[in-house]
Amino acid sequence: MESQIREIHQQLVEKKITCTDLIQAKLDLLKPNAYNTVNSLLENLALEKAKKVDEKIKNKQEIGLLEGIPFGIKDVYMLQGTFTTASSKFLKNYKAPYTASAIQKLIDAGAIPIVKENCDSFGHGSSSENTIFGAVKNALNKDLVAGGSSGGSAVNVAKNYTTFSIGGDTGGSVRQPSGYNKVYGLKPTYGRVSRFGLLAYASSTDCVGPIATTIEDVRIVLNVISGVDAKDQTTYLSNEISEKEISRYDDIKTIGYFKNFIENEAIDATIKSDFLASIEKIKSKGINVKMLDFFDSETLVSTYYTLAMAETASNLSRLDGTNYGNRMEGKNLKESYSSTRSENFSEETKRRIVGGNQVLSQGFSDEIYTKALSIRDQISENFEKDFQEVDIILSPVTPNPQPKIGESLKNPLAMYLSDSYTVGFSLGQLPTFTIPQGTATGIQLTAAKNNDELLLKFANFLKEVL
């Protein structure tokens, strides 16, 4: 199976390249920061690690598959001793005191972190423009947005500046930028990968997700980062996914898609026709296709944003200048809190904190927050029913193609609505995978909980069909 990780591994073992040269070449590609993907380069750390890999190879010691492979990290993950800014003014000078579990597992497997990547501040956004490091540019066309919030990670992978990157997906932030830059991006089942050391946005949907150029690389990385972690009580034990298992797909008999996602005025005409053409190609291979009913986009988006804002307002209350980040001194403690928070959070983040506190406050919480929780339960029930009928649900990743840089900032509501195909699956905590084929922004495959393997299988099939 096609895999960049395997290819590089082979070259290292056969001494066709040295790890130091490989890492240096990637760092040189990242240095000009042509797409605004770089928040900080991990030059010394990466070169030191590369030297050790080279020594091992020189001493004829065996190296693991991920050893020496350069990867990028969305700048919301802790990596001890390095800046972890969340692309925010608040944490601009904050250095992580420990390392996130998923990142530690990759480092333990020998992979080399080379860059902390630009993203929407605290994961708040769908375009990677809500950042103090400048808007990330799309890998295919620099006038367009990279997508968000893991825009820097998707662009680095698409430009081959990193072999893979670790993004974070709360409501689409791995899947949407992957679609916008035409690479693979997986949001695993919630709890498959530990969130420990990921700066919390909305804890009930936050997921750690790999972005790569091949399905096999996604599989390799996923296997390494998955598993129970005592530091995240929502993690569960999952089986390793084998290469063999995902190369056969004869057990996928029926797929479905949501009628109302497609028969909708908000969808771009070309995305719609490309999506339906893809469905026809799949049908022609003998797979049954069912149309399914689902909640309308407005309900999904409002439910997601109600819960995400409530959770982020609560999670970000710890940022008051006392323990972390920039502090602005005021006349008294209350004023210090107030100026610290108003000066250091972006407009978008403040909008969400205000919105979140509003939906949680007395007099509103029953009508808004509790109602959103109950709709979320209904959404999950809906999915359970669907997956009794179909193996996989297909959908476009976004209703519209990549917007121009600057457009999304003018209308936050329109930006929230652009998430309408990704957020529902997040609320259901389901595994969802963006593949770069099918439409201008890719296609999203979703399976029942803990069925991540099925997605990789079907993606392999679609690689040949679409």
Q: Which residues are catalytic?
A: 74, 149, 173
Give the side-chain half-sphere CA count within 13 A for 213.
16
Q: How far is the CB of 452 from ligand GLN (least distance, A)?
A: 18
Q: Return the number of other C-beta atoms located less than 10 Å from residue 41's C-beta.
A: 17
- 72, 110, 113, 125: which one binds ligand GLN (CB under 6 A): 125
**For ligand GLN, which is the closer residue by CB, 101 or 173?**
173
- 308, 316, 405, 459: which one binds ligand GLN (CB under 6 A): 308
**With CB under 6 A as the contact rule, which of the stretches 13-21, 118-126, 155-163, 326-334 interacts with ligand GLN?**
118-126
- 151, 172, 210, 424: which one binds ligand GLN (CB under 6 A): 172
**Binding of ligand GLN by 403 (CB under 6 A):** no
**Binding of ligand GLN by 138 (CB under 6 A):** no
**Binding of ligand GLN by 169 (CB under 6 A):** yes
**With CB under 6 A as the contact rule, which of the stretches 121-129, 239-247, 280-288, 367-375 interacts with ligand GLN?**
121-129
Q: Are 433 and 210 in contact (CB under 8 A)?
A: no
- Torsion, Cα of 443, 308, 378, 417 (10° steps): -50
Using CA of residue 32, residue 142, residue 159, residue 196, what is the dihedral sign? Answer: positive
Q: Which two tokens stand for residue 81?
A: 């001793």
* Total residues interacting with ligand GLN, rule: CB under 6 A: 13
**Binding of ligand GLN by 123 (CB under 6 A):** yes
Q: How far apart are CA 80 and CA 388, in angstroms?
A: 44
What value, to the nearest 5°, has the Cα angle with vertex 202 and ends 438 and 38?
65
Biggest distance spanned by C-alpha atoms of the chain: 72
Using CA of residue 287, residue 461, residue 266, residue 427, what is the dihedral sign? Answer: positive
Q: How far apart are CA 296 and CA 308, in angstroms?
A: 18
- 84, 101, 126, 432: which one binds ligand GLN (CB under 6 A): 126
**Binding of ligand GLN by 149 (CB under 6 A):** yes
Give one DSSP letter per residue of 45-112, joined into a string: HHHHHHHHHHHHHHTT----TTTT-EEEEETTB--TTSB--TT-STTTT-B-SS--HHHHHHHHTT-E
**Binding of ligand GLN by 82 (CB under 6 A):** no
**Binding of ligand GLN by 113 (CB under 6 A):** no
**Binding of ligand GLN by 147 (CB under 6 A):** no
**Binding of ligand GLN by 68 (CB under 6 A):** no
Q: Are 161 and 37 in contact (CB under 8 A)?
A: yes
Look at residue 215 and give its three-state secondary structure: helix
- 124, 219, 341, 376: which one binds ligand GLN (CB under 6 A): 124
**Binding of ligand GLN by 171 (CB under 6 A):** yes
**With CB under 6 A as the contact rule, which of the stretches 19-27, 29-37, 120-128, 399-407 interacts with ligand GLN?**
120-128
Q: How far is the CB of 319 from ligand GLN (least distance, A)?
A: 17
Q: How far apart are CA 173 and CA 167, in angstroms?
A: 7
**Kind plus residue range of the DSSP H or E element containing 304:** helix 297-315
**With CB under 6 A as the contact rule, which of the stretches 167-175, 192-200, 396-404, 405-413 interacts with ligand GLN?**
167-175
**For ligand GLN, which is the closer residue by CB, 130 or 214?**
130
**For ligand GLN, which is the closer residue by CB, 118 or 460?**
118
**Binding of ligand GLN by 419 (CB under 6 A):** yes
**For ligand GLN, which is the closer residue by CB, 133 or 201?**
201
Strand partners, 83: 95
Q: How far is the CB of 351 from ligand GLN (least distance, A)?
A: 11
What long-range pairs does 336-343 form, CB within 8 A, spacing at least 24? 343/89
Here's the x/- map for ligand GLN, 197-236, by CB under 6 A: it reads as ----x-----------------------------------
Using CA of residue 322, residue 353, residue 192, residue 232, what is the dihedral sign? Answer: positive
**For ligand GLN, which is the closer residue by CB, 85 or 340?**
85
Phi, psi for 146 (deg, rounded to 5): -85, -15
**With CB under 6 A as the contact rule, which of the stretches 132-140, 166-174, 191-199, 268-276 interacts with ligand GLN?**
166-174
Q: How far is the CB of 278 from ligand GLN (least distance, A)?
A: 24
Q: How far apart are CA 142 and CA 25, in angstroms?
A: 22
Q: How far is the CB of 225 from ligand GLN (least distance, A)?
A: 17
Q: Which residues here bind ligand GLN, judged by CB under 6 A? A: 123-126, 149, 169-173, 201, 308, 419
